[in-house]
Chain A
Amino acid sequence: DGGITQSPKYLFRKEGQNVTLSCEQNLNHDAMYWYRQDPGQGLRLIYYSQIVNDFQKGDIAEGYSVSREKKESFPLTVTSAQKNPTAFYLCASSMAGQPTTEAFFGQGTRLTVV
């Protein structure tokens, strides 16, 4: 079945450690996104990529890094520089170009710093 897969669903990290969240899609979408969701808040854009080997910072990129070496994959690394990383992380993808199409979302990864 086509879709977006995020793994793991739950992730625990010790302070000072980097951690990588996986996002894979088989929808043949060019554009991929990472959002952060805090309790009671909307989604905030961390990074996005519209084509392989290219990505752009979103509104809250500090303390995060990404890569886009393959069309299907857009992993997010939460670095030790991210001061408050505990949150729910959502990956999404959409077709590139116009008209703008809807984004499809994965099931999310809940990251907790312990």
Chain B
Amino acid sequence: AQKVTQAQTEISVVEKEDVTLDCVYETRDTTYYLFWYKQPPSGELVFLIRRNSFDEQNEISGRYSWNFQKSTSSFNFTITASQVVDSAVYFCALSETRRGQNFVFGPGTRLSVLP
């Protein structure tokens, strides 16, 4: 069965610190997709990144970077020089091709960036 684990329930950092959010997944599919979403206090989930199982290149977008390692089934998310506006709940999600378009979400990590 597919599963997504985010072991860090809550993280607090001081502004300008770097922070890494962990995501570990389980799947029996060889083709799958991984996602990160941000949920600010307003409640709407905001898409951050999608990665397919055949592309293990790390990605950087501004202060955000993602490290995908199939060998450890991990898809970690790092925020560099964190800002107060980064405070939110972050979700990692998995979609397997054989389950159609379903997305399985991890429990989320609440990040608090203190000024």
**Is B68 an interface residue, CB under 8 A from the partner?**
no
Instruction: Please list 8 pairs of residues, one from A and one from B, whose beta carbons are closer than 8 Å in the complex, sorted by A's number.
Output: A40-B9, A42-B4, A42-B105, A92-B45, A100-B33, A103-B35, A108-B44, A110-B43
CA distance A71 to B46 in the complex (A): 23
**Interface-located stretch among B13-21, B70-78, B93-101:** B93-101
> Do the beta carbons of B50 and A101 come within 8 Å of each other?
yes
**A contact residues around B9 at 8 Å (CB):** 40
Known: A48-B101, A99-B33. A105 touches B95 (CB 8 A): no
Contact of B47 among A33, A48, A96, A102 (CB under 8 A): A102
The answer, among A58, A99, A107, A110, for a CB contact under 8 Å with B52, is: A99
Question: Which residues on A sit within 8 Å (CB–CB) of B52?
Answer: 99-100
Are A42 and B101 also in contact (CB < 8 A) when A101-B50, A105-B45 are?
Answer: no
Q: A105's closest neighbor in chain B, by CB?
A: B45
Contacts A99-B33, A103-B47; A94 near B108 (Cβ below 8 A): no
Identify the A interface with B (CB < 8 A).
Answer: 31, 33, 35, 40-45, 48, 50, 58, 88, 90, 92, 94, 96, 98-108, 110
A42 and B102 within 8 A (CB): no
* Residues in B whose Cβ lies below 8 Å from that of A107: 42-44
Least Cβ distance of A89 to chain B in Å? 10
Given contacts A43-B91, A88-B43, contact A103 B97 (CB under 8 A): no
B91 touching A42 by the CB < 8 A rule? yes
The one of B42, B44, B46, B108 that contacts A42, using a Cβ cutoff of 8 Å: B108
Distance of B77 from chain A, by nearest CB (Å): 15
Q: Which residues of B contact A50 (CB under 8 A)?
A: 100-101
CB distance from B1 to the nearest CB of A (A): 11
CB neighbours of B91 from chain A (8 A): 42-43
